[in-house]
Chains A and B, each alone.
Chain A
Amino acid sequence: MEAPPVTVMPVTGGTINMMEYLLQGSVLDQALDSLLHRLRGLCDNMEPETFTDHELVYLLKGQQGNPFILRARRSLSHPTAPWHLRYLGQPEVGDKSRHALVRNCVDVATSHSLPEFLNEMGFRMDHEFVANGHIFRKGAMKVVVTKLSRILVPGNTENIERLSLSYLVELSVLAPAGQDTVSEDMRSFAEQLKPLVHLEKIDPSKQRH
């Protein structure tokens, strides 16, 4: 069974009700350079930042309903950084005119004993993958261009195989619930990236198999 919806929760403090606003798109490998170039110009003036992460997706099967999903992610390029545990709720089915996908989000930074701990809690790893790419920032907006790779031997992050010939582009903002101007800003930013990449609201529930 899923967690209670956000609207039922008491509004006490921002951390309980953080929402993630998300727009996604993809570019082919050949178009990557021009996209990076454009992003470099549009986003905040920082040194380009690359990342290599390893994500494990855990499921906890309850008695009824859908399993509870938690995502545990660690950085392979910065091994001393803490693990990042993430819970993403169901997308809010507010008004259809909202431009970005909005869902409740809980981010927890944890120590390195996370996988064993999750196992002890009853979670089982469903799948894992390696992601590498670039991060850009514009104010509160984060643009992540990722190449996803499959792990061939469980636990071995060296032996990986690319999943596709394209890069996933995600534009996201973490903001407290109730801020509607965020999706407007995201949309205008996404406009500036056309026609290199079309960022749009993709509902994950429509893609469940």
Chain B
Amino acid sequence: MGRVPGALQQTVDLLHKKLEQLGALKQQGNFSVDCETYHATATASGQPSKLLYVMHNSETPLSCMALFEGGPCLVADANFDVLMIKLKSHFQNAKGHKVECRGWKYRYSDFSIKVGTVTMNSSARGISAEVEYCPCVVPGDCWNLMKEFMQSFLGSNVPELPSVFTVKPEGLFAPSDCIDTMTQYLELFNKLRKLQMPGSNIRV
């Protein structure tokens, strides 16, 4: 991880302190989420090449998630990275676009909170906070509970219900999976990429 600007680090520390005040316990080990971007080399038709994002999450160490933004997604095992290397000539890895998010994990009863610093090209660009309500997989059932919990340490920065849940055909009551989590991370990364100034952005 590269140099972290003072303001970002302060916010991260503040969040940590608030969590500890609530009574959350710091867990052993770090978490990390990273995302690599590939774009197809010149296609037959003149369409702009789609971007393929390949993401990893330390919570699911044996898996690789491949996403097309707004398109189909794939969950595969770790050999998918090897396959992408073989596809070098068809899909180029945009090395400058690699995003990483690292941080500590906290546990507060049934909630799992991960506060991380998002870095692109070794420069810190923002903060991510992931809140997971472990007993439930259906967003509709626990969104209100999560919102209330987030208010307790994020104050007024609580986000709205993520769009990834609302755009699903079954709506809020389909069980959520790792792809939804990764989609949200991806949205956050893209948002941060577009921002010129480092700022803090919260995602759930």
Q: A residues near B, CB below 8 A? A: 1, 3-4, 9, 15-16, 60-63, 68, 85, 87, 89, 106-111, 113-114, 116-117, 119-122
> Which residues of chain A are near B83, meaning CB under 8 Å?
85, 87, 106, 108
Given that A108-B76, A120-B68, A122-B43 are known contacts, is A16 also in contact with B85, CB under 8 Å in the complex? yes
Closest 3 pairs between A and B when the two form their complex, measured CB to CB: A3-B86, A110-B76, A116-B72
B77 adjacent to A109 (CB under 8 Å): yes
Bound-complex Cα distance A107 to B81 (A): 11
B94 within 8 A of A: no
Bound-complex Cα distance A111 to B60 (A): 14
With both beta carbons as reference points, the residue of chain B lying nearest to A4 in the complex is identified as: B88
B32-50 to A contact mask, C-beta < 8 Å, 1/0 = 0000000011111000001
Bound-complex Cα distance A68 to B90 (A): 9
With both beta carbons as reference points, the residue of chain A lying nearest to B67 in the complex is identified as: A117
A131 smallest CB distance to B (angstroms): 22
B75 adjacent to A122 (CB under 8 Å): no
B76 smallest CB distance to A (angstroms): 4
> Which residues of chain B are near A109, meaning CB under 8 Å?
76-77, 79
Q: How many A-B residue pairs have CB under 8 A?
A: 71
B78 within 8 A of A: yes
With both beta carbons as reference points, the residue of chain A lying nearest to B89 in the complex is identified as: A1
> Which residues of chain B are near A87, meaning CB under 8 Å?
83, 86
With both beta carbons as reference points, the residue of chain B lying nearest to A67 in the complex is identified as: B90
Bound-complex Cα distance A89 to B73 (A): 25
A14 smallest CB distance to B (angstroms): 11
B79 adjacent to A106 (CB under 8 Å): yes
With both beta carbons as reference points, the residue of chain B lying nearest to A70 in the complex is identified as: B83
Q: B residues near A, CB below 8 A? A: 40-44, 50, 52, 66, 68, 71-80, 82-83, 85-91
> Which residues of chain B are near A4, meaning CB under 8 Å?
86, 88
Bound-complex Cα distance A113 to B88 (A): 22
Bound-complex Cα distance A60 to B42 (A): 12
> Which residues of chain A are near B89, meaning CB under 8 Å?
1, 3, 62
A2 smallest CB distance to B (angstroms): 8
Bound-complex Cα distance A165 to B165 (A): 52
B87 adjacent to A3 (CB under 8 Å): yes
Bound-complex Cα distance A3 to B90 (A): 9
> Which residues of chain B are near A15, meaning CB under 8 Å?
78-79, 82
Bound-complex Cα distance A109 to B78 (A): 9
**Cβ-neighbour of A62 out of B72, B73, B79, B90 (below 8 A):** B90
> Which residues of chain B are near A1, meaning CB under 8 Å?
89
Bound-complex Cα distance A107 to B40 (A): 22
> Which residues of chain B are near A108, meaning CB under 8 Å?
76-77, 79-80, 82-83
> Which residues of chain B are near A62, meaning CB under 8 Å?
41, 89-90
With both beta carbons as reference points, the residue of chain B lying nearest to A62 in the complex is identified as: B90
B74 adjacent to A16 (CB under 8 Å): no
**Cβ-neighbour of A110 out of B41, B74, B85, B88 (below 8 A):** B74
Bound-complex Cα distance A62 to B82 (A): 19
> Which residues of chain A are near B42, meaning CB under 8 Å?
63
B77 smallest CB distance to A (angstroms): 5
A120 adjacent to B86 (CB under 8 Å): no
The residue in B42, B44, B82, B91 that gathers the most chain A C-beta atoms within 10 A of its C-beta is: B82
Given that A15-B79, A107-B79 are known contacts, is A117 also in contact with B73, CB under 8 Å in the complex? yes
The residue in A61, A68, A106 that gathers the most chain B C-beta atoms within 10 A of its C-beta is: A106
With both beta carbons as reference points, the residue of chain B lying nearest to A61 in the complex is identified as: B44
